[in-house]
Amino acid sequence: MTEAPCADPAGSIGFFLCQAGQRLRGAAIEAPRLEARRLLAHVLNTSEAALLRDPRAPVPADKAAQFAGLLARRIAHEPFAYLVGRVGFWTLELEVSPATLIPRADSESLIEAALEACPDKGAPLHVLDLGTGTGALLLAVLSEYKAARGVGVDCRAEAAALAARNAGRLGLAGRASFLAGDWAAALSARFDLILSNPPYIAETETLSSEVRDHEPASALFAGTDGLDDYRRIIPQLSGLMQPAALAVLEIGHTQGAAVLA
């Protein structure tokens, strides 16, 4: 399919959006126009609505160059969230980097499960997030339970530091601490709520290059059957749980029976 020429004047917002949309479509990006708009709004530090209102406004040269650089990375299938360094999870905006998995909307079901099991949002829960990454699960839970506090552990010090920054930005630093460690090895406390979205992809599984080539392998893969980290985590749980505690783990959609066993 040949694309229609872009109608807005060269160098204008509309022109860049049109051209970028065509190039992203050519690279088989699913929502090319939307991503072009989001990326340009990010570069110009404005809203998508503002771009649409003023398509003939010129894009300054330095911004155009920055946009071109990000666009090239997206065309090479680097995840959008890494380009802008931000992602939405639950009701929160989180910093994200290639040191961490990009939190997925799927994982919000862990937060829903916790809320369903413990509807008292004033409960002073002590929460543990194993493999915290950006801190997404712990911070989402702490944003709901205002008297809760918790710990997030990640094997990568860079992730623990990023999660701590997220806590600070969200005003949750007083109730959240983060440490680098090997699952629960360094912990002696017991918790009321344990959350974990561990790596659970089998090494042989086919993934999009977007995921496989850009997100940290240590956050994705867990041995030949994807169960290695559950084998490590599950035996540690009973020593980490208060008597009436709840543990909520994310698993792959085919792994239910194996993880239960």
Catalog residues that contact ligand GLN under the rule CB under 6 A: 101, 103, 107, 131-134, 136-137, 197-199, 219
The pairing of beta strand 191-196 with beta strand 241-249? parallel
> DSSP labels for 72-116?
HHHHTT--HHHHHTEEEETTEEEE--TTSPPP-GGGHHHHHHHHH
Q: Which is nearer to ligand GLN, 16 or 200 (CB)?
A: 200
Cα distance between residue 139 and residue 150, in whole Å? 9
Nearest distance from residue 41's CB to ligand GLN, in Å?
Answer: 24
Q: Which is nearer to ligand GLN, 78 or 108 (CB)?
A: 108
Nearest distance from residue 252's CB to ligand GLN, in Å?
Answer: 12
Nearest distance from residue 232's CB to ligand GLN, in Å?
Answer: 13
> DSSP labels for 124-192?
--EEEEES-TTTHHHHHHHHH-TT-EEEEEES-HHHHHHHHHHHHHTT-TTTEEEEE-STTTT----EE
Q: Which is nearer to ligand GLN, 59 or 114 (CB)?
A: 114
Nearest distance from residue 151's CB to ligand GLN, in Å?
Answer: 13
Nearest distance from residue 218's CB to ligand GLN, in Å?
Answer: 8
Q: Which is nearer to ligand GLN, 70 or 233 (CB)?
A: 233
Nearest distance from residue 107's CB to ligand GLN, in Å?
Answer: 4
Q: Which is nearer to ligand GLN, 14 or 131 (CB)?
A: 131
**Number of C-alpha atoms within 13 angstroms, CB side, residue 117?**
17
Distances (CA, A) of 14 to 24, 29, 37: 15, 19, 10
Task: Give the Cβ contact number of residue 150 at 10 Å.
Answer: 28
Q: Which is nearer to ligand GLN, 92 or 219 (CB)?
A: 219
Nearest residue to ligand GLN on Cβ basis = 133
